[in-house]
Structure 1
Amino acid sequence: MEKLSVEEIRPLLSAFGFFRPPARPRLRLMMELPGATSPGQPRAASWELRLREEFLSQYGPALLPVPESLESSRLTLALRLSTRYMDDGIREAAQELFSAPVFLVSVSLSVLVYFAAWLAPEPFFSKAFAAALTVRLSLLVGLVELGHVAMACLQLHQEAEAATTPQELEAAAERFGKSIGGTALRVLVVVASLGLPQILPKVPKGGLETLLSPLRHAPAGGPALESLTTVQIVADGTLVVTGVAAGTSATALCGELATCAMMDGEGGASGSGPKLSTRYGKPHTRQNPPHNEAIEEELARRETAGHTDLRKNKPQVDATRQRVYDDKPLNRVRFRKPDTSSVRPDGVRHNINYVSNPRDMRRELDAFDAMVRADRNAIHELFSLDGTLIRRFVPQGVSFP
């Protein structure tokens, strides 16, 4: 795994070849202040726009800002430069791969979409394709190696965006190149290539074909894990997998991963998997245990503090338990369901929502605004699962500690 030859990657390059974009001038570095815009910045070509659409349909929305043109972005240029500093055992293959514009842009998208999820303290993959891919890569290279690849990619992105001189960009590329071995390069190939099933419908036999076959890994002869719905890597290194069919192969998979927890599609634990608390109502979602537990813990605190009318994921009501509706509904959604809702001892309604995934932030902010419009006499809060306050509304004249 630590070496990768040109012969191995030629079948992949052949597959990329049929989606060859028209020849364009070589990338040139335009160093502006970070975040600055220029009227001369190039726009994405039609082939890149098509590639983006295909990639995002597989992995979901980007978690980091996507430049107007990835082909001419600092990240893409830094990736191309990094091959100079890679080990002898992979340098020639990497230079061949990174000379293909389609592959280079796909790797850049991988950084902004898939690897960006590893910025979270406990990375969470809610898109079924990304969840299945994470399990597969964990089986192939291990969680530690997979995490190292993700962090190296994210460090390159951060340093490339912050670079203000060609020398700084070259230094960032050098650090990345020296941190990438054969195993890491194979991970990049898998993540970048499998995001383009329509553009690359079939990789010719040979070389990397085994890694790029459909995501139907069946550990130790068990059933294929094609029904995974979510994957989370928790702080202790455990891989928490949820899916309709995942529990059927829990024993075999856990044997290969050493530490994992699996849950079936009904939220029930398989083996030593996490159990969902239901003291205050049915699970908020059976596919996201941390979200459910945050709700249960918050309601328990409120009960201790003397709150009444404890509600878990139920339609929004006011302090008198009357249904309330948004007078300016977005996409015809007239009412919301707060994750937690209760009435304080002083009679004020208090609603809270949680954001599990950064990619859902816009949706949760819209829901927050809708709840405020529906009841301006209530306290409304929006938190991330780690307890970070994102937004708060407190009615005029209401005390809040």
Structure 2
Amino acid sequence: MRANSLPGGRVRLSFEPVEPDPALAEMSVEEAQAVLTVFHAAVLSERPEIRIIPPSRLRLLDEVDGKGWERHLRERFLSRFGGALLSLPETWEHSRLYQALKLSPRYMGAGVREAAAELFSSPVFLASVCLSVVVYFGAWLNPEPLFSKAFAVTLTAALALTVGMLEVANLALACLRLYRESEAARTQKELDAASEHFGKSVGGTMLRVMVMVASMGVAKTAPTVPHGGLGALLGSPMHAVEGGLAVGAAATATVVADGSLILSGVALGEVATHVCGGMALCATMNGGAGGSGSSAGLSTRYGPPHTRANPPHNEAIEKDLASREATEHSRLRKNKAQVDAKDSPLLDPKPVGGTRFRRPDASSVRPDGVRHNTNYVSNLRDLKRELEAFEAMRRADPKAIHELYLLDGTLVRRYVPAGVKFP
């Protein structure tokens, strides 16, 4: 990739063709389930009155007033990306675009079909993809799409650096074709044809880009550039700006017909300082939310470093234990085997893979005598394993509180015993 300075404080990013990563051609059901777990947790963190059915197949339920979560999603997308160029229906469930997207996985390739079906089985995720089409990809109707909202500018730069402009442009065109054909459909056969055209054009990389845009519609902050993107799901960026790239609040982005990206209000050689928000899909490849892998300055007040290769994980544990100590928790334990009130090891009655006991990242006893165990997830690839560990800890000690968090503080899962008050 070449980065050339232009008059007026602008920068042109030109992307050289690169060989596609064969690992991105497919997407597993496990990856899709990890996305949905974190995605729903991000929605819940802002709207706790919305309920989700646990544990394996998460589904968002309507609020008492009906479809309140749809209004919430719409507000989030519009506030981040700006106004929509395409029409927004009152509700997505009965829109032709929604129905066509829901049907599309059946026409996708074998390497992504099951993962897409898992993702699109979630009404809230599918509604977020619809919003992505009309709010973000709708801007690609222009010959040279222009983005002026800082969040959309940063996202476009992150997508370009992660997969290149060609892949993003192809997905945008596929989304716009789906929108036009589904809106024009008057029969089920015509709607199926629109779904088939879209499904056959979507591969693993495109599906991941769709996940990123839909996810960032509900995330708390914009993705970090250049190490942003799908993080653990997508891998290292295909392109990079030497020294990094910082996007300012007054930035704009223009996608030029020749496949390059012109940015204003950016600074080359500076890494953006903001960290990924609620979806935690960024900066996880190095083991944490922006972690560098250095072992310098590791806190050891509550025990040896959890791992020297992942300072953010260690610091999250130390901060957690410090807050517990401040609220008079006792028996503070860091990365030690799960025990009962008599310090006897607690064993999983149904061990997975031969693992009979677990080591909670942080463990303590509340002033009321209730044990409280917490684990943290650094890398989204490890989410399935961490969920298994969570269930094992719960089985071993059903009288304790158990929690699982992402490093940015997003709650993934919580178990509170019957009769125990929390917090």
Q: TM-score, normalised by structure 2?
A: 0.49
| 3-state DSSP of counterpart to 1:232 | strand
* Partner AA of 1:2 in structure 2: A
What secondary structure, in the 3-state scheme, does the structure 2 residue paired with 1:241 have?
A: strand
The 3-state SS of whatever aligns with 1:89 is coil
1:246 deviates by 2.3
Work out which structure has the larger RCO, using CA pairs closer than 8 Å and 6 or more positions apart in sequence.
2
Kindly indicate whether the alpha-carbon contact (under 8 Å) linking 2:246 and 2:268 is maintained by their aligned counterparts in 1. no
C-alpha distance in 1 between matches for 2:156 and 2:66:
29
Secondary structure of 2:247's aligned partner: coil
Name which of 216, 235, 238 aligns with 2:260.
Answer: 238
Out of 216, 226, 242, which is 2:247 matched to?
226
- Which of 21, 31, 38 is the matching residue for 1:8? 31
The one-character-per-residue Cα deviations of 1:341-370 (angstroms, maximum 9, x if unpaired) are xxxxxxxxxxxxxxxxxxxxxxxxxxxxxx
2:156 paired residue among 134, 156, 162:
134
What amino acid sits opposite 2:194 in the alignment? Answer: A
CA contact (8 A) 1:75 1:156 kept: yes
- Aligned-partner Cα distance in 1 for 2:69–2:171: 27
Q: Give the whole-Å Cα distance in 1 for the aligned partners of 2:220 and 2:269.
A: 30
Deviation readout 1:135-194 (Å, 9 max, x if unpaired)? 111111111111110000000000011000011001110110001000110110000001
CA–CA separation in structure 1 for the residues paired with 2:187 and 2:134: 22
In 2, Cα distance between equivalents of 1:69 and 1:164: 19
Structure 2 alignment gaps of length 5 or more: 1-23, 45-49, 53-64, 224-228, 272-423
Separation in 1, partners of 2:168, 2:77: 20
2:144 corresponds to 1:94: no
Question: Structure 1 residues 218, 233: closer, same or farther in 2, change over 3 A?
Answer: closer
Deviation at 1:115, TM superposition (A): 0.4
Query: What is the identity, as a one-letter code, of the residue corresponding to 2:78?
Result: L
For the 8 Å contact 1:51–1:199, the answer to whether it is kept is: no
> Identity across aligned pairs (percent)?
52
User: Number of residues paired by the alignment?
Assistant: 224
1:356-395 aligned within 5 A: none
Distance 1:119 1:84 in 2: 27
Alignment deviations for residues 47-75 of structure 1 (CA, whole Å, 9 cap, x no partner): 10011101111111111010111122110
1:38-117 equivalent positions in 2, closer than 5 A:
45-117=67-139
User: What code does the residue aligned with 1:99 have?
Assistant: S
C-alpha contact 2:242 2:269 (8 A) present in aligned 1 = no
Q: Does 2:184 correspond to 1:162? A: yes
SS in 2 for 1:189: helix
Q: Which residue of 1 is the match for residue 40 of structure 2?
A: 17
Deviates further, 231-240 or 52-61: 231-240
Inter-partner Cα distance in structure 2 for 1:198 and 1:128: 14
Alignment of 1:296-335 (within 5 A): none
Distance in 1 of aligned mates of 2:36 and 2:256: 36
The SS at the match of 2:25 is coil
Q: Give me the whole-angstrom Cα distance separating, in 1, the residues matched to 2:230 and 2:200.
A: 23
Q: 2:199 aligns with which of 170, 177, 184?
A: 177
